[in-house]
């Protein structure tokens, strides 16, 4: 994922109050998952996987064979799609955090 879309995703998760659940590094992510800290939930990691799954579903396996950003590729096909994916998967992460009792239910 390109830096611009990575930043957009982090911002969307921050706007939903999920920053405290994001791992500080790859090593921290592995430690948290192994120890089941916060039930192994990391919204940034989960959102990234969700975006890649959508990109593979819509764009095919060619995305795995390149360094292309899945959100940039989505945006090329439909204007606004990258933002829709970011917002949608960020909402999904908030719902999941609420289900796990890691975010306040409003």
- pLDDT, position 35: 82
- The reported pLDDT for the residue numbered 63 is 65
Nearest to 84 by CA among 60, 50, 61, 39: 50
Q: How far apart are CA 2 and CA 68, in angstroms?
A: 8
- pLDDT by residue for the chain (106 residues), tens only, comes to 899 999 999 999 999 999 999 999 999 888 888 887 778 889 999 999 999 888 888 767 766 667 888 889 888 888 888 999 999 999 999 999 999 998 887 7
The pTM for the full model equals: 0.86
Q: What is the pLDDT of residue 57?
A: 82
Q: What angle do CA 61, 63, 52 make, to 5 degrees?
A: 90
pLDDT at res. 62: 67
Domain ranges in the chain are: 3-99
Cα–Cα dist 62/22, whole Å: 29
Q: Of 97, 96, 89, 100, whose CA–CA distance to 10 is shortest?
A: 89
């Amino acid at each position: 994922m390109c830096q611009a879309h990575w930043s957009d995703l982090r911002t969307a998760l921050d706007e939903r109050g999920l920053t405290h659940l994001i791992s500080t590094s790859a090593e921290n992510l592995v430690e948290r998952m192994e120890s089941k800290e916060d039930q192994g939930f990391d919204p940034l990691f989960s959102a990234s996987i969700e975006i890649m799954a959508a990109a593979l579903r819509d764009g095919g396996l060619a995305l795995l064979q390149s360094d292309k950003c899945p959100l940039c590729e989505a945006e090329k096909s439909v204007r606004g799609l990258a933002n829709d994916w970011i917002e949608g998967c960020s909402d999904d992460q908030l719902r999941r955090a609420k289900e796990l009792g890691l975010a306040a239910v409003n």
